[in-house]
Amino acid sequence: MAGCRGAIVVAEARSSDEPVLTRRCVIMKVSDFTTERFLESQRQNAAAILLLMPRNTSAVPQDVVQSFMESEAEALLEETRMPVYVAPEDEQLLCMYEEVKQAAAARTSSILVRVLRSMVTSTSFQILVNNNSPIKAITDNTLVTLEGVLIGAGEDPPTIVITAHYDSYGLAPWLSHGADSNGSGVAILLELARLFQKLYSSQSTRPPYHLMFSLTGGGKYNFLGTRKWIEENLDHAESSLLHDNVALVLCLDTLANGDELYMHVSRPPRPETHMHSFLQQLEEVVQSRFPWVRLGMVHKKINLVESTVAWEHERYSLRRIPAFTLSHLDRHEAEQRGSILDTMSQVEFRKLKRNGIIIAESLARFMYNLSDKGSPKDLQVFKGHMEFQDSRLSSLMSFLTSVPRAAQLLDKEPRQMVLVNTLEQEFRRYLRHVHRHTFKQDKRDPDMTFFDQMNQPVMMYRVKPAAFDLFLGGCIAAYLGIIYYAIQNFGYLYTKLKAAVKAKHQ
């Protein structure tokens, strides 16, 4: 089981279709979960919500997925004491769900006598979550940021930074696999590292730019890992490539879907800047090779009053480093950026590979200044043995989504720690000067606080409904009343019975 941070629940299971949910555990499937039903359960003081997750999310209709993601995003913004548990569907849970739905239909469609008969003769389910250990706040989480470099040609060349955050987010940490957000950004970054390493390996093809790659943690929590990494490089390190001439910072976020590609910026790039030149190369590659892709720019100013930022590039923009984010999403509030339904079934590998090619070709054209050299617009730099490999992209995405990557798990659970270590090995395979930066929180004033016991055993019992106890109590009271009446009037009853027997014999 995965879900809420912890609560004791002893309640009868009821369908979300029921008119009365007070002190009940509301059972929902993905198709049932809407913002209205969530708020109604909260308004009626429901004991808990148990959400059943399909094991095969690819079978869920896309409109249901979209509706759930929107409701999930709104529910995560709500402050509530009502625990929400999430469990993968199995045969027993589905059987319980169907019986609860049928009972709800009987109660709403039958006449009073039939309803009472149904309540007395049918069975119901009791949901029990009994947590005897106190819930503890965790403030000692560590964030890991990986950094690696490809050294450019010439003396003191400018630096291009390619970055992506690797953690995920959703309603339940143990079910947050983050395929599109942001497994897609990490997969493309690792492929870019492999491809450009081949160009940098030869002195004749080495471009006049340092190429720095970084994978940051805490991306779903205000890009905390990115902020810490920038602070360490600019405020605490005596020498860093971020101190030198940074041409631009390219942030990769949610790139595994859609026929749109948006460049998110804090301020529009001015002509004759590196960012403007890169945008021109991006437009040329899209127009010449992928004309059906819509390329757009989204300008969003940073609101210094707000304590949170929308995109990773804003962390760099706050330090006056030119940066932008590439994404197929046109707004930072998009529900796809934090959902437990963001699984491999939502990834379109053809579009993921296409977006990777666009980024790689645009970057190469920018770094080698191919437009000014008169090269054809449809020139392919990465082809043959240097092209994006379908098998590698598929393997990377399968690996990244094989375990949940919620921030509170990455430094506590063995499988998640292995994932981060493997990402570091990938960096060491293709890059130089690889460093692992570990940032620990201040326990007295932590930036984020989590809670332990994210896995809770939820027990289900088949019981008679509460109405049955009333019915049984009434039957017992009637029985005792009859016995009491018979004892109190035994003489009268005996006389009547004796007279009736005598009359019968006569």
Q: What pLDDT, in 10s, does the model give residues 445-479?
A: 888 888 887 778 888 888 876 667 777 888 899 99
Compute the half-sphere exposure of residue 302: CA atoms within 13 Å on the CB side of its CA: 20
Where are the strands (E) in 350-400, listed by range? none
CA nearest 50: which of 22, 104, 11, 76? 11
For residue 165, what are the contacts with CB-CB under 8 A and spacing of at least 6? 182, 185, 215, 216, 217, 218, 219, 220, 223, 225, 226, 253, 312
For residue 195, what are the contacts with CB-CB under 8 A and spacing of at least 6? 360, 382, 386, 388
The confidence score (pLDDT) of residue 115 equals: 54
The confidence score (pLDDT) of residue 107 equals: 62
Q: What is the mean pLDDT of residues 118-137?
A: 73
Average pLDDT of every residue of the chain:
89
What fold, for 143-276+293-357+394-448? Aminopeptidase (3.40.630)
Each domain of the chain, given as residue ranges in start order, spans 2-136+455-464, 143-276+293-357+394-448, 473-505
Residues in the chain: 506
What b/e readout covers 324-352, taking b as 16+ CB neighbours within 10 angstroms?
A: bbbbbbeebebbbbbbbbbbbebbbeebb
Look up residue 152 and give its DSSP letter.
P
Which tokens hold the place of 122? 């049918």
> What band does 5 get if pLDDT is binned at 50, 70 and 90?
low
> Taking 70 as the threshold, does the pLDDT of residue 6 lie above it?
no
Q: What is the mean pLDDT of residues 270-288?
A: 94
CA nearest 163: which of 190, 142, 143, 144? 190
For residue 41, what are the contacts with CB-CB under 8 A and spacing of at least 6? 16, 21, 26, 49, 82
Other C-beta atoms closer than 10 Å to the C-beta of 466 total: 11
The confidence score (pLDDT) of residue 33 equals: 95
The confidence score (pLDDT) of residue 26 equals: 93
> What band does 1 get if pLDDT is binned at 50, 70 and 90?
very low
CA nearest 213: which of 231, 236, 186? 186
- C-beta of residue 226 within 8 angstroms of C-beta of residue 439: no
6-10, 34-38, 254-258, 308-312: least confident range: 6-10
Residue 194 to residue 427: CA distance in whole angstroms = 9
- Percent residues over pLDDT 70 in the chain: 93
Comparison of pLDDT for 211 and 496, the residue scoring more: 211
What are the pLDDT digits (tens) for 105-125? 766 555 555 555 555 556 678
Sign of the alpha-carbon torsion through 78, 82, 83, 84: negative
What b/e readout covers 96-119, taking b as 16+ CB neighbours within 10 angstroms?
A: bbebbbebbeebeeeeeeeeeebb
The confidence score (pLDDT) of residue 353 equals: 96
> What band does 44 get if pLDDT is binned at 50, 70 and 90?
very high
Which tokens hold the place of 136? 């503890």
Residue 178 to residue 176: CA distance in whole angstroms = 6
